Chain A
Amino acid sequence: DIVMTQTPLSSPVTLGQPASISCRSSQSLVNSDGDTYLNWLQQRPGQPPRLLIYKISNRFFGVPDRFSGSGAGTDFTLRISRVEAEDVGVYYCTQGSQLPYTFGQGTKLEIK
């Protein structure tokens, strides 16, 4: 199985400041079709996960443009340009390039 490792596990951030979460996979996520199926999910307290970013850098419908994704191969990053109160929650990277699909352990974003 592909292991997804996120850092940091906890990120206290000041409102209006940027935040960054890293995700590393144990092997390349480039699929045989040439695409890289690395997604980012947000899970607010008491809610199901919500798709933010798909295929490394594509924002899903309704996702604010303060969220952005980047990376390639085995190293990926989610950035929030200016953190807002509604961004509090846990963020997960997940890979869909190889079965079984796997998730990172999650990064808890909290406000200082």
Chain B
Amino acid sequence: KAGVTQTPRYLIKTRGQQVTLSCSPISGHRSVSWYQQTPGQGLQFLFEYFSETQRNKGNFPGRFSGRQFSNSRSEMNVSTLELGDSALYLCASSFGGPTASSYEQYFGPGTRLTVT
């Protein structure tokens, strides 16, 4: 079974631009969660989507948004990029269930975003 895939793997953007990251979950998984990882803050939860609906949200500004399609693929968008948005963005998929933590989460390799 193919794992979680994320595209692109690396991205360089300038301040003020916007970016869209993509995540394809494991076949059959309906939950997709997004995380930001930085050396200073560690892993931080952005949001979780289940059956095309945002089910949980972390403490990030509205510049960070996402969506999920009917095939469970998910996209994350960051508008008006800031230098501090430079990070590894990880997505994780799971079967779903009552909450995102009900089942095992499988992480993708991440997208390394650099904002200059």
A binds B: no
Query: What is the interface of chain A, defined by CB distance below 8 A to chain B?
Result: none
